[in-house]
Every structure is written in structure tokens, then in C-alpha cells.
Amino acid sequence: MEPTTGKAKYYTLMEALKEQILSGTIKPGQKLPSENELTREYALSRHTVRKALALLENEGYITARHGKGTFCSERVIQRHNSKNIAVTTTYLSDYIFPRLIQGMDRVLSENGYSIILKNTCNSRSKEEKVLKELLDKPIDGLIIEPSKSQILCRHINLYEMLDKYQIPYVFIQGCYPQMADKPCILMDDCKGGYLLTRHLLETGRRNIIGIFKADDSQGAQRHKGYVQALQESGILYDPENVIWFHTEDRKTKPSLMLSMLLDSKKSVDAAVCYNDQIALAVISMLEEKGISVPEDIAVTGYDNSLIGQSSPIGITTIAHPQEKLGEMAAELILEKIRKVPEEESSVKRLISPELIVRESTAGKNLSTETKK
């Protein structure tokens, strides 16, 4: 075994065996290879192997049975009635997340639960690492915003382990394609994208650019609503009018690609942006080019975030009931912990969007009222 830089050989072996246990390669109750077999397989001393096994036994992953060998434990760690709920979001400190978590905390604390808070930075590898950590902790349930939810989950075995240990989980703001049957609290993002695009059409815009995130289901659904509104108005969908971006290039690609379209003399009179952050970046880019918002190009956002509300040009957007969504997710995970039958659930799963009209889309038919 090649040691991992900075780690002792016994610790590297311990991590390798733990990975096999967490992935299900070594199953609960299964006998592990003997010390001699591990010594030969990993080219380590017997002393090193014993130290690795001792660590695993101390952590509760394996049990030694005198005269029979070492076995993968049934993981009888006291998971249930721990009064801990894990909450994992893509980000923590900015945008909509503080209020989202605040809503969860209000409901959970009223019911005697504490939150173990994690974030993934919308990274699938970090989500995998977080799930492995949580499988090692006493938790009663998990609320999770999936990372890059439009892409197939490659660590579904960890969710299967949650199922095996009877730890319920609830997805928020998206769900992996192969896990669509799992409990989830969502915004109706398709309808949200539709309302924004229809509003722009009603204000006389026809050359509408769509800017959407490619690696999460929210982006896909908002794009779907954009397409529906165009088709309903008899406007042919043009894929060249859509800018797709990913998590990694979210800070640069949307504005850069729109700027390049404008430099190519493409006719543009509006932009439907994935969220308020993108809308603000687009407005800033347009101002630098001497293009007026909304006179020359109207811009919409999504989420009704504080940054959108406080911007110099009020952004037309979709309301995001952040605290309410958090409360709904908390109520649903409590139902799952209490094993409330699905048909008796009192928690709504889909939030209908509200259109909030502000200055960024002012036009001849501008209305300052919200629309549902």
C-alpha cells in the first residue's frame, strides 16, 4: 500500500477499510480478511494492520469475536433519539441560505431538535465527503440540498446506507434524476420561468435571451418555463438565444457570453436570468457598455433576494419564501422521523411562485402588482 502523504500507514489502511464499509463493499455482519491476509494484500507489517483494526473497532465499525475473527459491525451506534438533525446546503453564509436555515431551526428547536450544519459549495465530491461524515454521527434525520442536482448522483450508495440505517432524508430545491421518488420540497421553477418570460412578452419584448444554470434542476425547470412562454406567444425557440453556465463559471460566463452576443450585433431587448445574482452582474455589464436598463434591455432575476431588493435598479423577480421553505422541510423530516404515512402527510411539497415587478422591466404595460 502506498501511504497517503502525511498519513501513517496504519491510518491509511484504516481509511481504506472504512471506505469499503461505508460504500457497502464490506457489508454489516460480514467477516473481514484475517490479519495475515491484510498483511499480504497491503504489504504491511502485522503490527500496522492491528493498529488500523483497533482504530476501526474503537469507532464501532468492526467487532472482534474470539476464535472467529473480525466482523463488520451492524452499526448499532445510537442514531435514533439523538435529537440531532443534519442540514446540508450548497452554501451557508450568503444569498437565500441564512433565512432558509432560520426557518428550519425555528421548527426543529420548537420540537427539541438541534441542527448539525454542513455545506458542500455545490460540489458533488464534497457532498460525498459530508455524507460519509454524517453516517459516522448520531443523527435522526437529514435535510439536504443536492449538489448539481441535474447530474446523476454518483454516490447513491451513501443514500442507500441512510435507508439501511433507517435515517430519513428530505431533499430541498432539487432532487437527483434517479431519486425522484424521494421526499422533496420544491419551488415550482417551471412556472416561475414562465411567469417571468410572459411578463417580458406582455411589456412588448420579443428578442428575449435566457440565462440558465446547466448543472441543477432549478435551471432546467426555469428554462422549461421560458420555452413554454415563448411557444405560447408564437415565438420560435432559438437555442442560440440561451446561455448555459455551470457552478464553476457562474461569476464570469453569463455576463461575458451576453456581452459577446451584443457585440455580434444580435438583437436583444430582454434577459431572463437564472437568479438575482446573475441579473445584477448582467445589469452591471450593460451599464459598462452604455446600455440602459430597462429602456434598451429589460432584465429579470429570481429569488427576491436582499441584494436584488437593495440594488439601485429594482429587479423584477420571483419571490422565494426562504423561511417558509425551511419550515416545510423541517416539518416534513419530523413527519418522516415519526413515520407518518405518506397519505396522512400535512406538508405541501410544491411552492407556487409569485412574480414581483420592479423597475428593471418597466415598459408600456408595466404593472407594479405581484402576480401568481
271, 341: one domain = no
Average pLDDT of the chain, as a whole number: 91
Residue labelled with grid coordinates 432559438? 238
Which of 353, 269, 284 has its CA nearest to residue 315? 284
- Which pLDDT does position 368 carry in this prediction? 40
Burial class from Cβ neighbours inside 10 Å (0-12, 13-18, 19+) for residue 29 reads: exposed
Report yes or no on 308 lying in a domain.
yes
pLDDT digits (tens, 9 = 90+) for 57-116: 887 789 888 889 999 987 545 455 789 999 999 987 666 788 899 999 999 999 999 999
pLDDT digits (tens, 9 = 90+) for 186-236: 999 999 999 999 999 999 999 999 999 999 999 999 999 999 999 999 999
Report yes or no on 39 lying in a domain.
yes
Report yes or no on 368 lying in a domain.
no
Percent share of the chain, pLDDT over 70: 94
171, 242: one domain = no
Provide the number of structural domains found in the chain. 3
Listed in sequence order, the residues at least 6 apart from 269 whose beta carbon sits closer than 8 Å to its beta carbon are 205, 206, 207, 208, 296, 297, 298
For 5-28, what is the mean pLDDT? Answer: 84
pLDDT digits (tens, 9 = 90+) for 104-162: 999 999 999 999 999 999 999 999 999 998 988 889 999 999 999 999 999 999 998 89
Report yes or no on 209 lying in a domain.
yes
Residue 124 identity (one-letter amino acid): R
Report yes or no on 3 lying in a domain.
no
207, 295: one domain = yes
129, 250: one domain = no
Alpha helices, DSSP H only, in the chain?
9-23, 35-42, 46-58, 97-110, 124-135, 156-164, 189-202, 217-232, 253-263, 276-288, 306-309, 322-337
203, 221: one domain = yes
pTM of model > 0.85: no
Which of 155, 207, 205 has its CA nearest to residue 364? 205
Report yes or no on 342 lying in a domain.
yes
pLDDT digits (tens, 9 = 90+) for 235-280: 999 999 999 999 999 999 999 999 999 999 999 999 999 999 999 9
The residue range of the domain holding 106 is: 84-182+323-351
**Residue 56's domain is classified under what CATH number?**
1.10.10.10
Angle between helical axes of 9-23 and 35-42 (0-180°, round to 10)? 110
315, 197: one domain = yes
Count of alpha carbons within 13 Å of 299, Cβ hemisphere only? 32
What cell numbers appear for 83 in the block?
Answer: 435529537
163, 206: one domain = no
198, 264: one domain = yes
208, 279: one domain = yes
**Cα distance between residue 293 and residue 313, in whole Å:** 8
Which of 117, 120, 138, 244 has its CA nearest to residue 174? 120
Report yes or no on 369 lying in a domain.
no
Report yes or no on 285 lying in a domain.
yes
**Residue 285's domain is classified under what CATH number?**
3.40.50.2300
231, 265: one domain = yes
